[in-house]
Amino acid sequence: MAETNQEVGFIGLGNMGFPMAKNLAQAGFRLRVWNRSVNKAREKLPDLPQARLCSSPREATEGSQFVFSSLSNDEAVRAVTFGPEGILAAMDENCIRVEASTISIALSSELESFHATAKRRFVASPVFGRPEAAEQRLLWIVAGGPSEAIERCAPLFGVIGQGTFRFERAPHANLMKLLGNLTIASTIEALGEALALGEKGGIPPSDAMQVIGSVFNSPVAKGYGMRIASQNFRPAGFRMDLGFKDVLLAIRAGEELGAPLPLASLIHDRFIEALALGRGKLDWSAVSSVSRDAAGLAATRFS
């Protein structure tokens, strides 16, 4: 384990945050951790060597060279950013805010602008990959911000991901994340429809996935396809209600930027249906169950 001597404020130990934190801690970064639920943080602390639990985002930020956050939505990001106990109040000029949450492009622009006004550095760094990928340091990082600041983040990004894409502006990184998630959600919808059609015609979904998996030869198509074929939606690597949030963010971006997204709208309606039917805690690939229901296939048992 290297000793970096660098302090990293780390905000948010959720499904994605925790494995990233672990990789940072194991690489020698000294974490100053804050989590909304202090009990959950306490449970996880033993897996984070040298980490120190803090009582506020402010405390986690003070004296850190980086403050890294991974939270579930705009509201949570706002809550840790602003106010006297927030990150912005405690950052000094040497600190870089690294915001890995999937947030709206509107909030990203706002944060970019607030940090610029306060002469603080802000790097949006949403990531692609599910929790397993996070554990294995296989995330793809989309970094948006001043290139010098992104450069300084390279040691962090190097221990959490397999590669970093750079954009000059924070909202571009966040928009990029939305584009990617939209494409993934589209793949889920496409597979859900195709496998349901195949099943109605007598093709077992797992047989169909053998073929589609080979043709696409993509970890995304294979991974989600196998989940859908086996109707195995637990544990939820990425929960449907959070997935819905991302679809909403893409649609809001389309409204603001003037881009109609009929496929996103279709997915939006599928998610609302799945949520209305009480499936929000399953993996987001369970949205495919709506295609099965609509085809009159025997109801999925959500084991």
The catalytic residues are 177
Minimum separation from the CB atom of position 157 to a copy of itself (A): 14
Residue 138 touches a copy of itself, criterion: CB under 8 A: no
Cβ–Cβ < 8 Å for 70, 16: yes
Residue 257 touches a copy of itself, criterion: CB under 8 A: yes
**Helix crossing, 170-200 with 262-276: angle to 10°?**
70
**CB atoms near residue 212 (< 10 Å):** 21
Residue with tokens 């790097």: 123
Cα gap 130→138, rounded to integer Å: 9
Q: ω into residue 126 within 30 of 0, thus cis?
A: no
From 12, 171, 237, 243, residue interacting with a copy of itself (rule: CB under 8 A) = 171
* Residues of span 94-133 touching a copy of itself by CB under 8 A: 105, 128
* Residues of span 186-215 touching a copy of itself by CB under 8 A: 186-187, 189-191, 193-198, 200-203, 207-208, 210-212, 214-215
* Residues of span 28-47 touching a copy of itself by CB under 8 A: none
**CB atoms near residue 49 (< 10 Å):** 15
Measured from the CB atom, the residue of 111 and 175 that comes closer to a copy of itself is: 175
CA distances from 5 to 97, 119, 166 (A): 18, 25, 26
Q: Which stretch in 31-39, 78-86, 235-243, 259-267 sits in contact with a copy of itself by CB under 8 A?
A: 259-267
Binding pattern for the stretch 43-82 against a copy of itself, x by CB under 8 A and - elsewhere: ----------------------------------------
DSSP string, 5-43: --EEEEE--STTHHHHHHHHHHTT-EEEEE-SSHHHHHH
- Size of site (CB under 8 A) for a copy of itself: 76
Q: Which stretch in 55-63, 81-89, 93-101, 169-177 sits in contact with a copy of itself by CB under 8 A?
A: 169-177
